[in-house]
């Protein structure tokens, strides 16, 4: 085994035993002598990300992408790191590029949708998630995020359709029942809101907001005791 292979193995062992800081030190030492080992630099960037050092993660991914512009995986991970750093405009540039050159990497559209959502660009977010769901990608996750954006933009009927589609596959998802209840409340359908709030409390007896809303809806006297929570 070469000295470089030994150093790689040491870094891997540090990572596998949860010693992320030590693994980072080892990889950084290797890359000072061998700066063109792009696979190791990607690993270093990912470890910085795990370690919460997002700025350093971005710096390392940028070095890889600068050297290898077509390294799609590194570009994708760079976009996610930009997102985590709330650099949504930079993230969108990356995800738009991936969607143009490698559309089969459909999770780029997922992160594109999230970036638009956090920028308050609901229509563009909806467009991104619709591309996913219409092509059968992302399954429950795509429908869930699409429903959240519909709900945030006041399109409650559309949100309800998405959430109901998820419940057909699994009726016991707490968050889906909860958001479905809120959407029904927004269109003044209290009967269905109560139904789904009851389901939330059944599945998660400690869900305080669902319990509070349910109590208000089923006991009018509670309106004088509790402030009605926002949707």
**Res 7: pLDDT:** 67
- Which pLDDT band holds residue 226 (cuts at 50, 70, 90)? very low
- Quick one: which of 171, 165, 117, 172 has its CA closest to 141? 165
- Which pLDDT band holds residue 88 (cuts at 50, 70, 90)? very high
Based on C-alpha coordinates, what's the Rg of the chain?
23
Residue 5 scores a pLDDT above 70: no
Q: Please name the residue ranges forming H helices in the chain.
A: 3-16, 20-33, 38-50, 54-67, 72-84, 88-101, 107-118, 122-134, 139-152, 156-169, 174-186, 190-203, 208-218
Q: What is the pLDDT of residues 95-151, one digit of tens each?
A: 999 988 888 888 999 999 999 999 999 999 999 999 888 877 777 888 999 999 999
Ordered by start, the domain boundaries in the chain are 171-231
């Amino acid at each position: 085994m070469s000295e470089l292979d030994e150093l790689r193995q040491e870094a891997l062992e540090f990572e596998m035993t949860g010693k992320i800081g030590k693994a980072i030190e080892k990889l950084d030492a290797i890359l000072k002598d061998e700066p063109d080992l792009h696979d190791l630099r990607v690993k270093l960037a990912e470890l910085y990300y795990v370690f919460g050092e997002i700025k350093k993660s971005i710096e390392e991914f940028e070095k890889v992408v600068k050297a290898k512009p077509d390294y799609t995986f590194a570009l994708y991970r760079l976009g996610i790191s930009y997102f985590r750093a709330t650099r949504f405009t930079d993230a969108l540039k990356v995800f738009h590029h991936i969607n143009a050159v490698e559309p089969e990497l459909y999770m780029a559209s997922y992160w594109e949708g999230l970036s638009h959502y956090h920028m308050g660009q609901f229509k563009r977010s909806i467009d991104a998630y619709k591309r996913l769901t219409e092509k059968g990608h992302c399954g429950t996750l795509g429908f869930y995020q699409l429903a959240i954006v519909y709900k945030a933009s006041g399109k409650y009927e559309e949100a309800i359709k998405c959430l109901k589609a998820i419940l057909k596959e699994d009726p016991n998802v707490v968050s889906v029942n909860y958001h479905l209840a809120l959407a029904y409340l927004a269109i003044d359908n209290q009967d269905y809101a109560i139904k789904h709030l009851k389901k939330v409390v059944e599945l998660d007896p400690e869900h305080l907001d669902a319990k509070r809303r349910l109590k208000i809806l089923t006991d009018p006297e509670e309106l004088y005791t509790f402030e009605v929570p926002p949707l």
